[in-house]
Amino acid sequence: MMIWIKCYTLLFFLICLNSVGYTVKIEKRLLYDRHTLHDTYKYGKQERRFQWDKISAFLDSLMVFQEKNDGYGVLRNYKNVNGMPPLSRKYKINKYKQTRDSFGVDRSQGIPLYQRGNFSVPERYGRDGAYVAVISDSAGCFQVSSATFAGEWYVPKKYMKLIGPLSIKKVIFVDRTNQNIATLEQEGATWLVRSMNPVTTGANRPPYQEATPPGIYFVQRKLSEMLYLKDGTDEKGGFAPYACRFTGGAYLHGVPVNYPDNKLIEYSWTLGTTPRSHMCVRNATSHAKFMYDWAEVEKTLVIVFD
């Protein structure tokens, strides 16, 4: 099936880009064909769908973003490996003692972003794994623009890894509203749909469960087994197979296996229902394996949207 989509508008959290004149061509050519969803489908009394119009808008803006910039980077502060960032100019501390900036981004694992002329206090935080373009390189900072929100920002060098010039050819789209996922790969002027599947995203039930955060991220790391702890303890609870980390502790992964069991589980009835995960994006295990093999670290984007 061939889908031709003209991009007219961008989502609220994309930077403002002039994409007039681009037409995104999307064609279904699946590499993974298990548990495949239709373009529109039922969940109870709801009609759900793949939002090809929004996916097209993202791809269109991505082309413009890449054409306007030569160098790229990924923001990094997983488990605060580069240090807890300073308090942002405006912040709130919630009842769970989580500190967040005025945009709702956690200080923990955040990346301080400064405005020109004010390097004493960060204006806001960027998210670990976020995709940015490099505008300039100074002694202690990179000047960057984000693929997910407007403005030019200064980030201390220890919080960013340079990627260099690249053309993104693989993108994974996670739709929180419809609880589905699509993988796409560029071939010439066409973006090929490689899979269309149900997922379960993160639930906003702090302190242990958090919503999967919207944004544009790089796949940063792959683990054949991602170990997790029982909530509120240091005790190992089990593992999630074929895990691809994209921001903080958020992974794309297969159906979790709770200890003492160790046998892989192919499918869960929770997939495609409502957000139930801790922050991750849960998939059928064979689909997680497909993405684990297909996605390239620091070359594949994960776009989370509503």
Q: Could you tell me the domains of the chain?
A: 2-68+168-305 (2.40.440.10), 71-162 (2.30.30)
Q: For residue 138, what are the contacts with CB-CB under 8 A and spacing of at least 6?
A: none
The pLDDT averaged over each successive group of 10 residues in the chain (306 residues) is 36 40 85 98 96 96 88 96 97 95 97 93 98 92 94 96 90 98 96 98 94 98 96 95 98 97 97 97 98 97 98
What distance lies between CA 72 and its chain's CA centroid?
Answer: 16
Query: What is the per-residue DSSP string for 116-134?
Result: TTB-SS-SEEEETTBEEEE
Question: What pLDDT is recorded for position 15?
Answer: 40
CA dist., res. 239 & res. 78, Å (int): 19
Question: What pLDDT is recorded for position 146?
Answer: 94
Question: What pLDDT is recorded for position 9?
Answer: 29
This prediction has a pTM of 0.93
**Token pair recorded at residue 190:** 């066409």
Helix (H) or strand (E) holding 97: none
Q: Is the dihedral of CA 56, 59, 64, 65 positive or negative?
A: positive
- Cβ burial of 184 (10 Å; 0-12, 13-18, 19+) is buried
Question: What pLDDT is recorded for position 1?
Answer: 47
**CB contact at 8 A, 36 and 27:** no
Residue type at position 3: I
